[in-house]
């Protein structure tokens, strides 16, 4: 270890630049990871955070609340499926709203439910669930407690429209990167009527279902699908993961992660290989005076660990404040699991990349010190 530290002290600038470069690469990797997580959460957070263990769409809905409509005959078939302990309606629509009588209008997704255990947020960051007409839980990145949201009618009119007060906030609960509200079913129907006074009966977008005790949600989803060719039942997590567009986003970011994951070990491996070639004469001399090759290899690997560890420390330190930011409607967050995963992965890849340099050290022949070939 003494040899490794001595060399690093003598070449502070060289090793410092490498640590800084690795730190910036780690920052880019973790920042991309945070953006991917934030983007996907903004698309499907409301699906992941709603409380129904099973969501049942219509087949024509393409596994989206926006496109699905549950007809009365289909709803009857779903509710009669063996294994359902309870079920409830879930409706969703996107409406033009005004918040706190501000001059500007905006869009908001409103999700209505008949049973809080089948459609309401499963956790709140603050406040409470609605228990009176005209109340809602809002996504915490878009609303504050006490906000009053007015659903505008045709042409932006406000007369005779639905006004909802935010009494609770839920984290990571957006739908389609849109401010999202969770309301009880009568308020959802009132919102639809406000936006379209000529609307007839309001049909649910999906049915939330809970299995009887002892039954797995996946088993219940399979039974519902077997009961009707028009039903498309999914567990809560499957409904989120299989929302159109989510898989494509993940695949795109995986290509980026693969490229970044290759750059770090490549840079590290080339750096230490060049260093090993440049100091081959001194390494040969050390071998000639009795230094074991295993000692030199351990010194090399210790340097690799210090360099990558320093780069990880720099990258994580820069990532921590960045992870608390918000990019437009996308809220970033610090992902400890991603930090640990990438730290371990990059350290292992860095050590593997140094194998070429280590093999070069092991091939050094002490006799070369007497022939002058060690510097070649």
Q: Which among 146, 145, 152 is positioned nearest to 108, based on CA atoms?
A: 152
Residue 175 tokens read as 């739908």
Residue 1 tokens read as 């270890």
74: left (phi over 0), alpha (psi -120 to 50) or beta: alpha
Q: Which among 204, 179, 174, 176 is positioned nearest to 189, based on CA atoms?
A: 204
The pLDDT of residue 274: 74
d(CA 85, CA 64): 24
Burial label, 326 (beta-carbon count in 10 A; 0-12, 13-18, 19+): exposed
Q: Beta strands 163-170 and 84-99: pairing type?
A: unpaired
pTM beyond cutoff 0.85: no
Identify whether the C-beta of residue 165 lies closer than 8 Å to the C-beta of residue 147.
yes
| Domain boundaries defined on the chain | 2-43+246-371, 47-241
Bridge partners (DSSP) listed for residue 57? 232
Mean pLDDT, 10 residues at a time, over the chain (376 residues)? 65 83 90 89 92 94 91 94 94 91 83 94 94 93 91 70 89 91 94 82 93 94 93 94 88 86 82 68 58 70 86 93 81 88 88 77 58 50
């Amino acid at each position: 270890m003494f040899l490794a530290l001595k060399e690093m002290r003598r070449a502070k600038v060289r090793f410092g630049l490498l640590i800084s470069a690795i730190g910036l690469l780690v920052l880019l990797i973790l920042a991309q990871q945070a953006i991917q997580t934030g983007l996907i959460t903004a698309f499907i957070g409301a699906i992941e955070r709603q409380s129904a263990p099973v969501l049942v769409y219509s087949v024509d809905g393409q596994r989206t609340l926006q496109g699905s409509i549950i007809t009365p005959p289909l709803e009857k078939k779903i509710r009669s499926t063996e294994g359902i302990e309870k079920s409830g309606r879930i409706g969703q629509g996107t409406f033009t709203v005004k918040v706190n009588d501000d001059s500007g209008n905006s869009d908001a997704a409103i999700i209505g439910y008949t049973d809080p255990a089948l459609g309401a947020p499963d956790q709140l960051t603050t406040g409470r669930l609605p228990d009176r007409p005209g109340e809602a839980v809002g996504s915490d990145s878009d609303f504050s407690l006490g906000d009053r949201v007015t659903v505008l009618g045709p042409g932006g009119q406000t007369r005779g429209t639905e006004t909802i007060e935010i009494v609770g906030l839920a984290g990571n609960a957006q739908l389609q990167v849109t401010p999202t509200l969770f309301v009880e079913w009568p308020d959802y129907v009132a919102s639809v009527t406000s936006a379209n006074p000529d609307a007839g009966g309001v049909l649910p977008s999906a049915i939330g279902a809970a299995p009887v005790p002892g039954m797995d949600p996946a088993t219940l989803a399979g039974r519902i699908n077997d009961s009707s060719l028009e039903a498309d039942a999914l567990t809560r997590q499957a409904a989120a993961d299989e929302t159109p567009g989510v898989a494509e986003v993940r695949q795109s970011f995986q290509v980026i992660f693969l490229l970044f994951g290759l750059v770090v070990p490549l840079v590290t491996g080339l750096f230490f290989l060049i260093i090993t070639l440049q100091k081959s004469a001194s390494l040969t001399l050390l071998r000639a005076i009795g230094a074991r090759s295993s000692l030199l290899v351990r010194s090399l690997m210790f340097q690799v660990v210090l360099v990558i560890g320093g780069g990880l420390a720099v990258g994580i330190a820069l990532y921590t404040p960045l992870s608390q930011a918000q990019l437009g409607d996308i809220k970033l967050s610090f992902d400890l699991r991603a930090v640990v995963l990438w730290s371990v992965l990059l350290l292992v890849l860095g050590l593997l990349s140094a194998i070429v340099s280590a093999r070069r050290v092991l091939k050094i022949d002490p006799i070369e010190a007497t022939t002058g070939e060690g510097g070649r």
